[in-house]
């Protein structure tokens, strides 16, 4: 179990002190895939670097399986880092070593003999599906393959925790999906706790069990992924779950966000029903919905002429199963 | 003047000198250059490493005064012209070799002039290593020494070879100058025959051989650096 307690981190910069993290409290259970999401500069990388003490917190504690990392000496921390390994956005493979030797590196550092290290590295190459690339150099691989080698390298020392800092941000959507499914497999097979740092909600949606939303150095919201997708509460969470809000200019004072969460697609479109049954005219500002197996998913933003029609439209929509609507207040 | 240089008599005499003196001079130049480069690397490489890793946010921060002293030492030695440095280090040369003249004695000033240069070249090469890779090694629990030996130096090998090639060719040029303090080699031939005895053809040929040597070292160095680079 990883417990982050009252953690704060400030940097001394030329123009004063900068609070990158403010009083963070997060608990991550063993075997969980935990997401940490936030905008650029929110403090995600700083937080993940505090978990393996590459960055020393200014205040608070990081406790892994009952051991307070702040109480450890540099030498013992190095020991911990073999148990809490990391992969990065830029893969960071050694360019002058071939793939096999890259995977051997953490084992060499640990003092494992060459023969055993090679044996373990070959197993891991097999695990990430790149057995044929043992002798290839990183420059001869695609980004997705390089990240697989980096994952194999991170697993070499049999860690209990894998930290992924924007591990898929440099990859295209298809490769991203294959790397994420590899991470999920590893989590299933080896029971490794995974912490995923990202700025993409799709990554969280795809593999995480729980998520913490980081906004300006603070945890804005934390909980089950499904729950946060269903009803985001904080402003930061809303703007991540409903990115449309930031894209559409809501000029109207009376706007409604309608979330479809598996509503039955009916023969008569909803907006038409609204007009026919309630005599309310709605203007569609944006819509991104898709039907999966006859169920509608997605978000729509509607605007109305006045307060009264907004209120009755909201009432009408909210009584439908799988539809949730709420007012959008001057998003801009 | 050119007619004089290329007269039959001069050519015969020159050939005679060349056959008798050049092979040994070539050997002297060669071994002085290689030995001086070797010692310059032995001192310059660790020094260059210290300067990079010893910085405030390096992998092995050193106390500020030590770092400043090392930088100052390098800058001081690099700013003294080689001709003057040769004379300034006479006491050190005498202490190490027992004499201040001769081919072997010329290695001392060459090393003293070259190691600060090598240290700067090493510094430049090591700074090219991606900081992300160093951070990765730290995240694996590598100690500072392991980061230096297993990551920083191996990752900059091609660049280090290019740097050492530059050092060799520069030292080769310096060996020619050390002819003045009695260092042997092609430089001595050029100065003794060309400058003191007006045998310009001998001088010309000695210089041409030096140019060919520089080309040779440079080509080998560049090829080697390319062949080693897996990027
Ligand atoms: N070593 C440092 N010195 C000073 N300020 C820093 C340092 N590292 C990070 N910061 C600052 O801390 C804040 C958080 O940075 P951090 O890298 O954690 O953000 P992030 O959420 O990872 O962003 P991104 O998505 O762009 O990677 C930023 O304002 C950044 O400028
Ligand atoms: Mg980051």
DSSP conformational letter for A160: S
B17-35 pLDDT, tens digit each: 888 888 888 999 998 999 9
Pairing type for strands A255-264 and A323-328 reads: antiparallel
Q: Is the pLDDT of residue A331 over 60?
A: no
Spatial contact of A286 and A331, defined as CB atoms under 8 Å apart: no
- Dist CA A209 CA A230 (whole Å): 14
Provide the pLDDT confidence category of residue A223 given band limits of 50, 70 and 90.
Answer: very high
Cα A221–chain centre separation: 13
For an interface test with B, the pick among A48, A101, A106 (most B C-beta atoms closer than 10 Å) comes out as A106
Nearest Cα residue to atom 12 of ligand 1: A20
- Dist CA A228 CA A213 (whole Å): 10
Phi and psi for B55 in degrees, rounded to 5? -65, 165
Share of chain A above pLDDT 70, in %: 95
Q: What is the pLDDT at residue B15?
A: 83
A42 vs A243, higher pLDDT: A42
Q: For residue B147, what is the nearest residue in chain A, using CA coordinates?
A: A109
CA of residue B106 to ligand 2 center, whole Å: 54
Q: What is the pLDDT at residue A332?
A: 44
Instruction: Find which of A11-20, A285-294, B189-198 is predicted with most confidence, using mean pLDDT.
Output: A11-20
- Dist CA B172 CA B183 (whole Å): 12
CA of residue A91 to ligand 2 center, whole Å: 14
Q: Is the pLDDT of residue B222 over 90?
A: yes
Nearest partner of B99 among A147, B107, B69, judged by Cα: B107
Q: Which residues line ligand 1 (CB under 6 A)?
A: A 11, 13, 18, 20, 38, 40-46, 199
Q: Is the pLDDT of residue A215 over 60?
A: yes
Other C-beta atoms closer than 10 Å to the C-beta of B225 total 18
Nearest partner of A66 among A6, A5, A21, judged by Cα: A5
CA of residue A6 to ligand 1 center, whole Å: 19
Provide the pLDDT confidence category of residue B2 given band limits of 50, 70 and 90.
Answer: low
Torsion (CA) A111, A114, A116, A122 in degrees, nearest 10: 120
- Dist CA A267 CA A263 (whole Å): 12
Q: What is the pLDDT at residue B143?
A: 94
Spatial contact of A40 and A199, defined as CB atoms under 8 Å apart: yes
A125-148 pLDDT, tens digit each: 999 999 999 999 999 999 999 999
The contacts of residue A305 (CB under 8 Å, 6+ apart) are A254, A281
> Are A88 and B136 within 8 A, CB to CB?
yes
A57-76 pLDDT, tens digit each: 999 999 999 999 999 998 99
Mean predicted lDDT score pLDDT of chain A: 89
Residues of A in contact with B145 (CB under 8 A): none
Q: What is the pLDDT at residue B103?
A: 85
Q: What would the two tokens of residue B202 be? A: 């001998």
B161 vs A317, higher pLDDT: B161
A318 vs B115, higher pLDDT: B115
Lateral strand order in the sheet of A218-224? A84-88, A161-165, A193-198, A33-38, A210-215, A218-224
Q: Is the pLDDT of residue A247 over 70?
A: no
Q: Which ligand lies nearest the alpha carbon of B131?
A: 1
Residues of B in contact with A110 (CB under 8 A): 141
Whole-angstrom CA distances from A59 to A62, A219, A229, A315, B44 are 10, 16, 32, 48, 42
Q: What is the pLDDT at residue A114?
A: 94
Q: Is the pLDDT of residue A160 over 70?
A: yes
Pairing type for strands A161-165 and A59-64 reads: unpaired
């Amino acid at each position: 179990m990883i417990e982050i307690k009252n953690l704060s981190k400030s940097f001394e910069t030329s123009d004063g002190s900068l609070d990158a993290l403010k009083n963070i409290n997060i608990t991550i259970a063993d075997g969980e895939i935990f997401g940490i999401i936030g905008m650029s500069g929110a403090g995600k990388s700083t937080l993940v670097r505090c978990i393996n003490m590459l960055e020393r917190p200014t205040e608070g504690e990081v406790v892994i399986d009952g051991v307070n990392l702040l109480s450890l000496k540099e030498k013992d921390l190095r020991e911990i880092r073999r148990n809490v390994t990391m992969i990065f956005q830029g893969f960071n493979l050694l360019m002058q070593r071939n793939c096999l030797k890259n995977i051997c590196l953490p084992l060499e550092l640990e003092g494992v003999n060459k023969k055993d290290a090679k044996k373990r590295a070959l197993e891991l190459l097999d695990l990430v599906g790149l057995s044929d690339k043992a002798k290839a150099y990183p420059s001869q691989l695609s980004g997705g393959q390089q990240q697989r080698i980096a994952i194999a390298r991170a697993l070499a020392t049999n860690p209990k925790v894998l930290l992924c800092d924007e591990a898929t941000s440099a990859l295209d959507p298809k490769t991203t999906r294959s790397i994420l499914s590899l991470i999920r497999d590893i989590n299933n097979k080896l029971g490794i706790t995974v912490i995923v740092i990202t700025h993409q909600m799709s990554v969280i949606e795809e593999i995480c069990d729980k998520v913490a939303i980081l906004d300006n150095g603070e945890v804005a919201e934390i909980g089950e992924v499904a729950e946060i997708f269903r009803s985001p509460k904080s402003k930061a969470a809303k703007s991540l779950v409903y990115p449309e809000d930031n894209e559409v200019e809501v000029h109207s004072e009376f706007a409604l966000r309608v979330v479809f969460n598996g509503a039955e697609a009916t023969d008569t479109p909803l907006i038409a029903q609204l007009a026919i049954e309630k005599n309310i005219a709605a203007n569609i500002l944006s819509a991104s919905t898709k039907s999966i197996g006859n169920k509608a998913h997605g978000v729509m933003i509607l605007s109305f002429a006045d307060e009264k029609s907004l209120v009755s439209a909201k009432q009408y929509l909210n009584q439908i199963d799988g539809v949730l609507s709420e007012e959008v207040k001057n998003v801009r | 003047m050119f007619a004089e240089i290329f007269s039959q008599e001069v050519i015969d005499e020159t050939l005679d000198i060349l056959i008798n003196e050049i092979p040994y001079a070539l050997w002297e130049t060669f071994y002085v250059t290689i030995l001086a480069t070797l010692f310059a690397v032995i001192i310059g490489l660790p020094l260059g490493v210290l300067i990079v890793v010893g910085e405030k946010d390096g992998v092995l921060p050193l106390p500020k005064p030590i770092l400043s002293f090392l930088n100052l030492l390098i800058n001081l030695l690099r700013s003294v012209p080689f001709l003057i440095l040769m004379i300034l280090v006479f006491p050190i040369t005498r202490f190490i070799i027992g004499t201040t003249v001769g081919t072997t004695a010329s290695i001392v000033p060459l090393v003293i002039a070259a190691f600060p240069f090598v240290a700067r070249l090493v510094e430049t090469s090591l700074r090219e290593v991606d900081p992300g890779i160093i951070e990765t090694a730290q995240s694996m629990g590598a100690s500072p020494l392991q980061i230096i030996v297993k990551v920083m130096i191996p990752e900059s090998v091609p660049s280090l070879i290019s740097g050492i090639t530059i050092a060799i060719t520069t030292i080769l040029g310096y060996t020619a100058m050390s002819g003045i303090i009695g260092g042997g080699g092609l430089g001595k031939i050029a100065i003794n025959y060309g400058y003191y005895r007006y045998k310009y053809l001998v001088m010309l040929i000695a210089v041409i051989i030096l140019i060919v040597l520089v080309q040779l070292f440079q080509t080998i160095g560049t090829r080697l650096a390319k062949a080693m680079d897996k990027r």
